[in-house]
C-alpha cells in the first residue's frame, strides 16, 4: 500500500484535491488529522490531543510529550489498511509541523510519498485567504460564490500576507526537496484530468477519471471580487507585482 501526505499551505485547493481523491475506490484520504478540534473530514482519524481549558498555544505546547511518545504508533495505525485500500493518506499544512515534533523525520524514514500542492499566483493565493477570513466562507457550497459581496483590500495587510506566504512556500519546498515528492499547483487544476492522472500514477492506484467534487469559490476576474481594485493594481505595479494580475 502507498502511504502519502498532501503537504500544502492554505487556499491552494487542497480540500478539493483531498475530497476528490477520497472518492477513488482504491484511496482513503483524510483531512488535517493534526487539528486540535479534529478534522471535519474523516474525523475518526484525528490525533488524540490532551485537552485542558487553556489557550490553544498552551495546549499545543502541553502536547509535545504526547506527540513524542505516540506519533509513531498513531501514524502506524493510521497507515494500516482497513478496507483493502491501495493508497492511504491525509492532508498536512506546513505550520502543523511546528507543533508535531518528529513529523518530518517520520516522513523521510517511512517511505511516505509527498504530494506538494502550492499556488503559483501569490496575489490570488493571498486574496483568497483574506477574503475567506473576511467573509467566513472558505469553500463553495451550492451557489454561495454568487452571493459573496466584494471586499476592500487593506494594502499593508496584503503586502504582509504576500511576503508571509512566499516565505512559507519557499520553506516548504526546501523541506520536501529530499523527500519522494510530486509537486503540483493550484493552476494545474485548470487541466484537471491530466493533473489527477499524474497524482494517481504517483500513488500507484488505478488511473481512472475522477471528477472534482466542487467548483472554485472566487471569480476569475479580480475586478469582480475587489472593491478597491484600482488602488490595489496601482500598488502591485509599484511593487513589480503586476504580473500576478494576468
pLDDT digits (tens, 9 = 90+) for 45-85: 999 999 888 888 899 889 999 999 999 999 999 999 988 89
Q: List, in sequence order, the alpha helices (H) in 46-154.
A: 56-62, 64-78, 103-109, 122-135, 144-147
In this structure, what CATH number is given to the domain that contains residue 192?
3.40.50
Radius of gyration of the chain (CA): 19
What is the count of structural domains for the chain?
1
Mean pLDDT of 161-171: 92
Task: Quote the CA–CA distance of 235 and 241 in Å, as a whole number.
Answer: 8
Determine the 3-state secondary structure of 31 from DSSP. Answer: strand
Retrieve residue 10's grid coordinates: 492554505
Range of the domain at 185: 2-245
pLDDT digits (tens, 9 = 90+) for 14-36: 999 999 999 999 999 999 999 88
Task: Quote the CA–CA distance of 188 and 120 in Å, as a whole number.
Answer: 10
Closest CA to 218 of 151, 120, 158, 162: 151
Q: Which residues contact 39 (CB under 8 A, 6 or more apart)?
A: 30, 31, 32, 33, 45, 46, 90
Amino acid at each position: 500500500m502507498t502511504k502519502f501526505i498532501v503537504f500544502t499551505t492554505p487556499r491552494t485547493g487542497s480540500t478539493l484535491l483531498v475530497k476528490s481523491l477520497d472518492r477513488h475506490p482504491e484511496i482513503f484520504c483524510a483531512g488535517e488529522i493534526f487539528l486540535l478540534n479534529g478534522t471535519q473530514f474523516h474525523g475518526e482519524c484525528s490525533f488524540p490531543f490532551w485537552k485542558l481549558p487553556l489557550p490553544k498555544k498552551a495546549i499545543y505546547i502541553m502536547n509535545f510529550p504526547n506527540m513524542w511518545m505516540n506519533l509513531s504508533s498513531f501514524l502506524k495505525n493510521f497507515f494500516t489498511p482497513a478496507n483493502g485500500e491501495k493508497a492511504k493518506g491525509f492532508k498536512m499544512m506546513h505550520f502543523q509541523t511546528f507543533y508535531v515534533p518528529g513529523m518530518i523525520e517520520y516522513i523521510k524514514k517511512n517511505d511516505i510519498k509527498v504530494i506538494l500542492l502550492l499556488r503559483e499566483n501569490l496575489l490570488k493565493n493571498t486574496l483568497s485567504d483574506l477574503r475567506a477570513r473576511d467573509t467566513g466562507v472558505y469553500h463553495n457550497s451550492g451557489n454561495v460564490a454568487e452571493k459573496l459581496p466584494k471586499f476592500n483590500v487593506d494594502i499593508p495587510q496584503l503586502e504582509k500576507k504576500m511576503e508571509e506566504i512566499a516565505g512559507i512556500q519557499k520553506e516548504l519546498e526546501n523541506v520536501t526537496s529530499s523527500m519522494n515528492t510530486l509537486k503540483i499547483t493550484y493552476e494545474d487544476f485548470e487541466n484537471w484530468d491530466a493533473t489527477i492522472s499524474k497524482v494517481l500514477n504517483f500513488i500507484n492506484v488505478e488511473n481512472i477519471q475522477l471528477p472534482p467534487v466542487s467548483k472554485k469559490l472566487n471569480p476569475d476576474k479580480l475586478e469582480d471580487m475587489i472593491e478597491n481594485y484600482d488602488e490595489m493594481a496601482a500598488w502591485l505595479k509599484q511593487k513589480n507585482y503586476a504580473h500576478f494580475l494576468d
